[in-house]
């Protein structure tokens, strides 16, 4: 069995947490680049994971602060699935992974680092991405800076979400998302 290791994440797990929910605050930030938000939809958004398991680790997050999938209305679930598809397509274009892990962790025992605000993970995978550095050296090699990955992914998301009438939802920076 191969495993993907990210021992540096323990600093986040054991560290002090912000008083406010980072997933509630991120899409309202003045600078989406600073919060690594790639796309804002009507009910949910896509953001890069600041503590990734591997390069290109994205998350799809509803604006609503809910912990359980059963609390997410059907229209939000549909939009989130569309954004997961968009994330997979963007990652294929930019990073050319050989596969993906897509899913969510419900509850602390399932591995949810932020268990009060549901979010899906979209993690690109490559054959051999678990190697001696992670297994023996307890070190994961992230080969590209988050900001560089962001700058490559952002224009792809902009292209993928633009239709004949433009983006389905693009509020002004700093504006609260709908239904907040």
Q: Which residues are catalytic?
A: 119
Structure-token pair, residue 167: 């983006």
Spatial contact of 4 and 129, defined as CB atoms under 8 Å apart: yes
123, 128, 130, 132: CA torsion to nearest 10: -160
Neighbour-count burial of 36, counting CB atoms closer than 10 A to its CB (0-12 exposed, 13-18 middle, 19+ buried): buried
Distance CA 145, CA 122 (A): 18
List, in order, residues 6 or more apart from 48 with CB less than 8 Å away.
36, 38, 56, 57, 58, 59, 146, 149, 150, 153
């Amino acid at each position: 069995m191969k495993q993907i290791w990210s021992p540096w994440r323990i600093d986040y797990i054991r560290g002090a947490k912000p008083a406010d929910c980072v997933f509630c605050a991120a899409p309202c930030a003045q600078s989406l680049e600073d919060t690594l938000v790639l796309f804002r939809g009507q009910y949910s958004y896509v953001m890069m994971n600041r503590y990734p398991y591997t390069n290109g680790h994205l998350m799809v997050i509803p604006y609503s602060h809910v912990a359980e999938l059963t609390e997410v209305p059907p229209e939000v679930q549909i939009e989130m699935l569309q954004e997961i598809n968009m994330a997979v397509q963007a990652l294929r274009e930019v990073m050319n992974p050989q596969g993906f892990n897509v899913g969510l962790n419900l509850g602390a025992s399932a591995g949810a680092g932020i268990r009060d605000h549901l979010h899906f993970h979209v993690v690109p995978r490559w054959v051999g991405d678990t190697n001696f550095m992670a297994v023996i050296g307890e070190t994961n090699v992230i080969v590209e800076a988050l900001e560089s990955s962001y700058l490559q992914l952002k224009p792809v998301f902009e292209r993928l979400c633009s239709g004949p009438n433009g983006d389905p939802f693009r509020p002004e920076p700093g504006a609260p998302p709908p239904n907040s």
